[in-house]
Amino acid sequence: MTGFEDEIRRRLLSAQDTGRIEGLLFHSTAEPIVGRLHGDGLDVLWTARDPWVSAQYIPNAGSEILLARPDDWRLKDRVAPTKHDVLYALACEMSGKECCDVEWDWDGRAKSWRVPDGWPTYGDVVGHIEDHYGYVANSNGVYYVRESAGVVMPADWQIEGQVFVALDDGLHFKDVRRSGEPDLTEREYYDGYAFEQAMAQGYDGVIINDHCQADDYGNVPHLSFGLNAIGREKVEWLALPAVRRHLDPWYSGEAILTPDLDEWLADFEMEAVHAL
């Protein structure tokens, strides 16, 4: 382990003891990163000082679709062929077959077809969604189905991303917040003029009010620390595997570190024991 990594480890261990994370920046993403981290369209790389907040910027899946549960009166009907339909795709997956001799209407709807032996009903597909994939419809009868490359994934599947950790020693951020309280109508991450001024004045980045999207809670306010080109040249990043983590903004007993960071610390301790 390098001295840089060892210092990150020391600060994470200190955070476990004190309940406060100091001197660290976190940037989480599911995007494949080749080479150095770069800024966004305004040439700013956004980070947070809370790893739980940072983890909200990793999506649960490559894509998520809203799938309406068929009405009860349809559950005994055989699944009809429909283009680009998840229910039909799952029926094909379950049976290993497709409907035959499908005749499509002018608007892309099937108007006649033949079903193979053992072709599933809508009830069969609902059972497959719930029992095999583990989804539960919400109060509106909607499943939030996770997909990867167009393939339905289990309800507990998550895309693997990365959390990048850096020391913020010697970095100077200009506070360009427009108010003391975050306001959803003030999209401060678009304030390119303020970012350019901060860079022209020699700052390494800016501080803004921001919001992340937490599952079950919607918009959660937090501070974002944006590194400009000057700041990015000064930092070194430790990249660790990570996934999105459930953030409960009302739970004050939240562990200070995410499981991904805890796992990295545990792996290091195990390596150190084996080295003895």
Give pLDDT tens digits for 101-125: 999 998 878 999 999 999 999 999 9
Residues with Cβ within 8 Å of residue 85, at least 6 apart in sequence: none
Q: Verify that 122 and 254 share a domain, yes or no.
A: no
What is the average pLDDT across 9-36? 94
Q: Verify that 104 and 135 share a domain, yes or no.
A: yes
Give the per-residue pLDDT at 270: 58
Give the per-residue pLDDT at 276: 46
Q: Verify that 257 and 163 share a domain, yes or no.
A: yes
Q: What's the domain count of the chain?
A: 2
Q: Verify that 83 and 186 share a domain, yes or no.
A: no
Among candidate residues 134, 152, 170, the one where a domain is terminated: 152
Q: Verify that 176 and 268 share a domain, yes or no.
A: yes
Q: Verify that 55 and 69 share a domain, yes or no.
A: no
Residues with Cβ within 8 Å of residue 13, at least 6 apart in sequence: 265
Residues with Cβ within 8 Å of residue 54, at least 6 apart in sequence: 26, 27, 28, 47, 48, 163
Eight-state DSSP code of residue 132: I
Structural domain boundaries enclosing 71: 63-152
What is the average pLDDT across 134-141? 96
Question: What's this model's pTM, rounded to 2 decimal places?
Answer: 0.86
Q: Verify that 77 and 21 share a domain, yes or no.
A: no
Eight-state DSSP code of residue 129: I
User: Any idea which residue has 């303020």 for tokens?
Assistant: 194
Q: Verify that 53 and 171 share a domain, yes or no.
A: yes
Among candidate residues 152, 175, 190, the one where a domain is terminated: 152
User: Given a cut of 60, is residue 273 above it in pLDDT?
Assistant: no
Q: Verify that 24 and 91 share a domain, yes or no.
A: no
Q: Verify that 103 and 52 share a domain, yes or no.
A: no
Among candidate residues 152, 168, 187, the one where a domain is terminated: 152
Q: Verify that 40 and 73 share a domain, yes or no.
A: no
